[in-house]
Amino acid sequence: MAPRISEEAKEEKRLALLDAALECFSQKGYYASSVDDIVRYSNLSKGSVYNYFDSKEDIFISLLQHQTKTSLERLNKVLREIESPLEKLKYWINLDIPFNLHKKKMMRVHIEFWMYSSDSPDVKKVLTDRFDTVLGIVKDIIAEGIEAGEFKKDVDPEKAAGMFWALHDGLWLHTLVRFDEKQLEERIKEIETTMLAYLT
């Protein structure tokens, strides 16, 4: 009888496969990557992959769900400790300073999620849920800031949250096309200036 593997060890293997998938997808792209490629990046057996995931698309979706869950847990933990809505928003805007190479890899893969979602209702649903969640958090911060008198009363929280995400995602798209750490950090500061001028 084969030895039983603990739930903790199973989860470690699953996360190792997701890390390998991130490396593979960020370097080769989703469409050019195969399950065999992910196996090579992970140094695990092909059988291990299919113990945890049904397909390459299942790995792709699981990667986005895992990254969304972990990043939102970290973010919400910090935001709960900041009282001022203005300071919450400033913290979020500056979250990518100093430059985070892991985030750059994830953004490359995330852009492929956007493209792939037109062919996959499952991926589109995951992306839509993620977008609604993060947009809702920003919207709540802005509404809280209006109530606290830190932001202008005539600001529309939904439109302001949409502007925040358009600036954020547009900046990361440009970073992937032409990466320069110093320029990225300068432009993050410009986003902060723009958002605060709009809100205060």
Residue 1: the pLDDT is: 46
Asked if residue 179 and residue 119 are part of one domain, the reply reads: yes
Asked if residue 163 and residue 80 are part of one domain, the reply reads: yes
Asked if residue 184 and residue 148 are part of one domain, the reply reads: yes
Asked if residue 176 and residue 159 are part of one domain, the reply reads: yes
The pair of three-digit structure tokens given for residue 41, joined into one six-digit string: 């990046």
Residue 100: the pLDDT is: 75
Residue 55: the pLDDT is: 92
Asked if residue 154 and residue 76 are part of one domain, the reply reads: yes
Asked if residue 46 and residue 137 are part of one domain, the reply reads: no
Q: Name residue, tokens 């977008």.
A: 131
Residue 145: the pLDDT is: 98
Count CA atoms within 13 Å of residue 92 on its CB side.
28
Phi, psi of 86 (to 5 degrees): -60, -45
Q: Distance between CA 120 and CA 143 in Å, rounded?
A: 34
Asked if residue 182 and residue 117 are part of one domain, the reply reads: yes
Q: Which of 27, 53, 79 is the last residue of a domain?
A: 53
Residue 3: the pLDDT is: 54
Asked if residue 118 and residue 39 are part of one domain, the reply reads: no
What one-character-per-residue DSSP string does 36-71 give?
Answer: HHHHHHHTS-HHHHHHH-SSHHHHHHHHHHHHHHHH
Q: Is 140 left (phi over 0), alpha (psi -120 to 50) or beta?
A: alpha
Q: Which of 53, 71, 96 is the last residue of a domain?
A: 53
Asked if residue 170 and residue 115 are part of one domain, the reply reads: yes
| Number of folded domains that form the chain | 2
CATH number at residue 137: 1.10.357.10
Q: What is the pLDDT along the chain (200 residues), one digit of tens a residue?
A: 445 668 888 888 899 999 999 999 999 998 899 999 999 988 888 888 888 999 999 999 999 899 899 999 999 999 999 999 999 999 999 998 887 778 888 888 888 888 888 888 888 898 899 999 999 999 999 999 999 999 999 999 999 999 999 999 888 888 877 767 888 889 999 999 999 999 99
**Domain that residue 127 falls in:** 62-199
pLDDT tens digits, one per residue of 37-56 = 999 988 888 888 888 999 99
Asked if residue 190 and residue 94 are part of one domain, the reply reads: yes
Asked if residue 13 and residue 77 are part of one domain, the reply reads: no
Q: Which of 32, 53, 74 is the last residue of a domain?
A: 53
Environment class of residue 119 by beta-carbon count within 10 Å: exposed (0-12), middle (13-18) or buried (19+)?
A: exposed
